Structure 1
Amino acid sequence: MSGTAQTQEQGFHAGRVIQLAVTAALGGFLFGFDTAVINGAVTPMQEAFGMGAGVTGFVVSSALLGCMVGAYFAGRLSDKIGRVRVMVIASALFTISAIGSTFAVGPVDMILWRVIGGLGVGAASVIAPAYIAEISPAHIRGRLGSLQQMAIVTGIFIALLSDYAIAAAAGGAGNEFWFGLDAWRWMFFTEVIPAVIYGALALSIPESPRFLVHQGREDEARKVLSSVLTEGVDDRISEIRRTIIRDRATSLRDLLKPTGGLLPIVWIGIALSVFQQFVGINVIFYYSSTLWQAVGFTEDDALQQTVITSVTNIVVTVVAILLIDRIGRRRLLTIGSAGMFVALGTMTIVFSQAPLVPNDAGELEPVLSDSAGIVALVAANLFVVFFGMSWGPAVWVLLGEMFNNKIRGTALGIAAAAQWLANFAISSSFPSMAEVGLWFAYGFYTIAALASLFFVLRFVPETRNKELEDME
C-alpha cells in the first residue's frame, strides 16, 4: 500500500499534522537549547564572576527552579488564554533570558535571568506535548509525541555546536569576541534567534481544538480538526467534551488511597522521574566541557567532545523511537539501566585511580593518562547511548500512558515537578561533589543506575499495546 493511500485510509492529512506538531515541538528545541547552552560558558563565567563551586552550581541549576514554576502554571494558564498564547509567552521569556544573561554583571542577576528562562522551559515542556496530543490522530500520537524528545536533544546539539563554534572563533570562551563582549556571553545571546522564530511560528498555527471546545467555540474547533482529519471530526468533538467534563472533576484527592497516602502508581511515576535524573545525565550536558578540561583536555577538545556526545544522543533517540513499540517499555528501561550501571561504574573506577595534580590555582585535580582518557571518553558516550535509547524517551512515554484517565493530568504534573526538583538537586550538587572527587560523583550515579534496574524489574508496569482506557 502506498504511503498516500495509507494516509487517506487512516483519515488524516499527514502534511498538516506534521506541520503543526513540528511547530509545537520547537518548544522542546528551546527546552534543550536553554538547558545546554550554559555548558561552554560555565568555566569563563565562574572566573569572570569569581564564583566558588557552590555558587556556580546554583547559577547553572537555578533555571530549574523556574522550570518547576513554569510547568506548574503553564497548564492552568493555557486553559484560560490558550495553548498558542502560552507558546508566545514562553518565546518572550526565552528572549528576555537570553538578552539578560548576555549582559549579566554578576551571579545574582545571572540567576534571575536563568530563572526567567526556566519559566519558559517549564511552560514549553508542558504545552508542546499537550498541543501535539490534542491535534494528533490517536494512532500516530506516539510517533508525533516523540518529536518533543527529538527536538530537545536537537536543541542540546545545536547549543553545544554553537558554543564550540563561538569559542573556536574567539580563540577561547573567555576571550573577547564581537563588539567587545566575551565569547561566553555570545553563547547566551545565540538563543535569541530560535526564541524569536518559535514565537513567530507559534502565531501561525491554530489554537488547540480542546481549548476551543472548552471555551464554547465548537465551530472553530471543528474547523481546526477538519484541517487535520478527513473523517471522524464530530466523534472527536464529542470525545473532547467528555474529557473536559471528566477533567473538571479531577483533583489531588483522586491520587490518594482510601486508607491515605498516594496511590502506588503515582509513586512509581515519581520514582521514574527521580531515577531519570539521579543517574546524572544532565551533568554531562551542563558540565561536560568543564569536566573534561578538569582532567587534562584542552578547551577546544572538551567542547568538541560535548558536540560528539550530543550527536550520539540524537542518534540513539531515533533508535529508541524505533524500538519502544517493538520490545516494550520495561525491557528498554532494563537494558538502559544495566548499560548505564556498567558505563558509570567504569568512569567511577577510572577517576578513582587518576593521580591528583595541582592546577594553576594550586587546587588538586585528577589527570587522566592517554589510555585512561580514552576509556573515560568511551564510557561517557556509552552512558549517553544507554540513557538516550531508554530512560530519556521511555520515561516520558510511560508517564503519558501509565495513569488512568481520571488521574492522568494531575499525576503527570506531580511526576514532572518531581523530575525538575531531582534535576535541580543533581545539577546544583555536582560542583560540590566533584570537589570531593569525580569518583564520588560518578559513584553516586552508578548506585542510582543499579537501583533503577531493580526498581524497573520489581515495580514498573508494561504499557505496550494497551489502550489508555485500560490503564488501572
Structure 2
Amino acid sequence: MSTSDAQPGAGPAPAQHLNPKVVAISVAAAVGGFLFGFDTSVINGAVSALSEEFSLGAGLTGFAVSSALLGSVVGAWFAGSLSSRYGRVKVMVVAAVLFFLSALGSGLAFGVWDLIAWRALGGLGVGAASIIAPAYIAEVAPARYRGRLGSLQQLSIVLGIFAALLSNAVLARVAGGSAGTLWFGVPAWRWMFLIEMVPAVVYGVLALKLPESPRFLVGRSRFDEASRVLYKFTGEIDVNLKIEQIRASLEREQRESLRDLLGRRFGLKPIVWVGILLAALQQLLGINVIFYYSTTLWQSVGFDESQAFLTSTITSVINILATVVAILLVDRVGRRPMLLIGSGGTTISLATMALAFSFAEQGAGDAVSLPAPWSTVALIGANAFVVFFATTWGPIMWVMLGEMFPNRIRGSALAVAGATQWVANFLVSTTFPAMSQIGLTFAYGVYSVFAAISFLFVLRLLPETKGKELEDMDDLEVRRGGSARHGT
C-alpha cells in the first residue's frame, strides 16, 4: 500500500470536524496525566502518618514529599530523545511499568530512604508521561482542535489529583486516620500508595493499543502506517499532502542535540528561553503546595483530619470543573489572553491568602488557628487561586510546550523545558515546609510576586500559537512587546 491509495472505503469526516477516534486516542494517551496527578498528590494524605512513623523533621519531610520530582526531572529530560529513537508508545508503556513498581515499593517501604528511592522511581514515569502525552496529542490532533485535545492532559492530571485525595480520604476514614490499620494489618497510609497499581495497569494496557505518532512513523519511512493513522484517527482528507508536509519538515531537521538549542543571546535560542520560563513560572506560582500539603495545611490552622481531607477533596473537584472550562475556551479565546487573565487572578488570590494568614493566632505548641472571618477568606482565596490556575496556567502550559517549538528542536527543547518544570516543582515543594515555618504570609506573598512576574512575561514575550500547524512553528518568533511574528 502506498501513500497514494491510503483512502479506502467511505471518506472520513471532513477535516473541519473532530474525529471521535482522535479524541479516543488522545484520552488514552492522557491517562499518563492521571497517573502523573495521582502519583504526585497521593503523598498528601500520608505526610503526617509517615512523618510520625519515621520520626521526620521538616526538612526530611519536605524531601520525602518532593523526592518523586527528582525522578521527574530525569524522566522528562530523557523522554524526548527516547521517544524519538524508540517511539512514543513504547515510552508510555515503560512509564506505566515505573508507576506500578513505585506504587508497590512505596507501599511496602521499610524506612524513609527506600520510600524516597521508590518515589523517585515513580518520578521517572511522571516525568516521561508529562512530556510524551502532550507531544503525542499535539502530533495526532488537527491544529483547529489541538488546544482542546492537548488540555485533556491537564484534565487527566486534575482527575488523578482528585482520585488520590478521594482515595486518601476514604481510606483514612475507614481506618480512623491515616495512621490507622486497614486490611492485613497494613496502615492506611501504605494502602494510599498501593492503590496506584490499578491505574498503572490500565495505562499500560491502553498504551499498548495506541497507534504510533504519524511524525515518528514518517521519520522512520513507514509511510503506509502513517497514512493509516492520519486517515483513520486524525481525519485528514489529503493524507499524501500531510505526509509530504511532515517529511519536508523532518528533512529540514538535523540530528537533534542540545547544541541545536544554542543561540547568540544568553546562550540559547529565544524560543527555548521562553519555554523554560513558561515551565518554571507555572510551578513558581505555588500550585502544588495546595495539592501536596493542603491536608496538613488545613490541619495546621485548626481543621481536624477529617475536615482537612474533605476540604482538600472539594478543592480538587473545583480544579476539575475549572479545567473543563479551560478545555472549552482554549481554542476559542487563545493561549495568551487566558494566561494573562490567569496571572492577574492568581496574583490577587495569592495576595489574599497571604493577608488572611497574617491574622493567624498561635496556640499551644506549633498549633495555629485562623479566627473568623479570616479562615473563610483563606478558603475563598485558596479556591479562587485553584480556579484561576486550572482554567489557564494549568492546562495551557502543557498545550504550549507541546506545540510552540520548531520541529527541528522540539524533542530537545521539550526535554529542557520539561526538566525545568520539574526542578521548579521540586524547589517549591521542598522549600514550602521551611517557608511556612517563617510564616504562611511570607510563603504565599512570595508566590504572589511570581504570579505578578508571570503577567509581565506573557505580556512581553509569549507568542500566540492558536490554530497554527506544527509544521508552521519553524518560523514562529518570540514576542518583543507586540504581536507574534513569522520570519527567520
Structure 1 length normalisation: TM-score?
0.93
2:364 counterpart of 1:383: no
Alpha-carbon shift at residue 259 of structure 1 (Å)? 5.6
Partner of 1:432: 434
Alpha-carbon shift at residue 39 of structure 1 (Å)? 0.7
Partner of 2:147: 142
Partner of 1:176: 181
Partner of 1:199: 204
Q: Which amino acid aligns with 1:183?
A: A
Identify which range, 269-278 or 219-228, moves more after superposition: 219-228
* 1:1-12 → structure 2 map (5 Å cutoff): 8-10=13-15
* 1:176-255 → structure 2 map (5 Å cutoff): 176-228=181-233, 229=235, 231-255=237-261
Partner of 2:264: 258
Q: Deviations over 1:170-206 (max 9, x none)?
A: 1111111111011111111110100001111212223
Alpha-carbon shift at residue 340 of structure 1 (Å)? 1.3
> Which secondary structure state, in structure 1, belongs to the residue aligned with residue 14 of structure 2?
helix
Counterparts of 1:53 and 1:6, CA distance in 2: 62
Counterparts of 1:356 and 1:471, CA distance in 2: 53
Contact residue 147 and residue 331 of structure 2 kept, 8 A:
no
2:287 counterpart of 1:281: yes
Partner of 1:65: 70
2:41 counterpart of 1:39: no
Q: Which amino acid aligns with 1:430?
A: F
Counterparts of 2:42 and 2:250, CA distance in 1: 38
Q: 1:318 aligns with which of 310, 313, 324?
A: 324
Contact residue 152 and residue 327 of structure 2 kept, 8 A:
no
Contact residue 12 and residue 137 of structure 1 kept, 8 A:
no
Counterparts of 2:372 and 2:18, CA distance in 1: 55
Counterparts of 2:326 and 2:376, CA distance in 1: 26
Counterparts of 1:12 and 1:389, CA distance in 2: 24
Change (3 A) 1:454 1:217: closer
Q: Deviations over 1:328-372 (max 9, x none)?
A: 3222222212211221111112212211112xxx3x332112422
Q: 1:415 aligns with which of 414, 417, 428?
A: 417
Q: Deviations over 1:251-303 (max 9, x none)?
A: 43333333662233322222222111111100000000000001110111111
Contact residue 175 and residue 182 of structure 1 kept, 8 A:
yes
Q: Which amino acid aligns with 2:195?
A: T
Contact residue 250 and residue 408 of structure 2 kept, 8 A:
no
Contact residue 143 and residue 467 of structure 2 kept, 8 A:
no
Contact residue 166 and residue 187 of structure 1 kept, 8 A:
yes
Identify which range, 101-110 or 364-373, moves more after superposition: 364-373
Instruction: Name stretches of at least 5 consecutive residues in structure 1 with no aligned partner.
Output: none
2:335 counterpart of 1:333: no
> Which secondary structure state, in structure 1, belongs to the residue aligned with residue 358 of structure 2?
helix
Counterparts of 2:180 and 2:438, CA distance in 1: 30
Counterparts of 1:126 and 1:320, CA distance in 2: 20
Q: Deviations over 1:355-409 (max 9, x none)?
A: 1112xxx3x3321124221111111101101111111122223333443344333
Contact residue 104 and residue 110 of structure 1 kept, 8 A:
yes
Contact residue 175 and residue 181 of structure 2 kept, 8 A:
yes
Contact residue 37 and residue 159 of structure 1 kept, 8 A:
yes
Counterparts of 1:199 and 1:158, CA distance in 2: 18
Contact residue 148 and residue 328 of structure 2 kept, 8 A:
no
Q: Deviations over 1:124-159 (max 9, x none)?
A: 112212222233333322222221111111111111
Counterparts of 2:464 and 2:217, CA distance in 1: 34
Partner of 1:89: 94
Partner of 1:442: 444
Change (3 A) 1:450 1:205: closer
2:124 counterpart of 1:125: no
Contact residue 80 and residue 415 of structure 2 kept, 8 A:
no
Counterparts of 2:397 and 2:17, CA distance in 1: 28
Counterparts of 1:467 and 1:230, CA distance in 2: 13
Identify which range, 432-441 or 94-103, moves more after superposition: 432-441
Identify which range, 438-447 or 299-308, moves more after superposition: 438-447
Q: Deviations over 1:72-94 (max 9, x none)?
A: 22222223332222211111110
Counterparts of 2:308 and 2:152, CA distance in 1: 29
Q: Which amino acid aligns with 2:430?
A: S
- Identical aligned pairs, as a percentage? 57
> Which secondary structure state, in structure 1, belongs to the residue aligned with residue 392 of structure 2?
helix
Contact residue 106 and residue 118 of structure 2 kept, 8 A:
yes
Change (3 A) 1:436 1:67: same
Counterparts of 1:70 and 1:414, CA distance in 2: 11
Q: Which amino acid aligns with 2:357?
A: F
2:363 counterpart of 1:357: yes
Partner of 1:369: 371
Which structure shows the higher helix fraction? 1
Partner of 2:23: 18
Counterparts of 1:203 and 1:280, CA distance in 2: 35
Partner of 2:278: 272
Q: Which amino acid aligns with 1:182?
A: P
Instruction: Name stretches of at least 5 consecutive residues in structure 2 with no aligned partner.
Output: 1-9, 478-488
Counterparts of 1:136 and 1:459, CA distance in 2: 26
Identify which range, 271-280 or 327-336, moves more after superposition: 327-336
Q: 1:397 aligns with which of 399, 403, 425?
A: 399
Alpha-carbon shift at residue 11 of structure 1 (Å)? 7.2
Contact residue 256 and residue 263 of structure 1 kept, 8 A:
yes
Change (3 A) 1:417 1:451: same
Q: Deviations over 1:6-50 (max 9, x none)?
A: 972227782322221111111111111111111111111111111
How many residues end up aligned between the 2 structures? 464
Counterparts of 1:89 and 1:146, CA distance in 2: 23
Counterparts of 1:183 and 1:339, CA distance in 2: 37
Counterparts of 1:237 and 1:465, CA distance in 2: 19
Aligned alpha-carbon RMSD (Å): 2.2
Partner of 2:481: none
Counterparts of 1:457 and 1:216, CA distance in 2: 41
Counterparts of 1:394 and 1:312, CA distance in 2: 17
Q: 2:456 aligns with which of 442, 454, 463?
A: 454
Counterparts of 1:104 and 1:408, CA distance in 2: 38
Counterparts of 1:94 and 1:114, CA distance in 2: 9
2:85 counterpart of 1:80: yes
Contact residue 11 and residue 230 of structure 1 kept, 8 A:
no
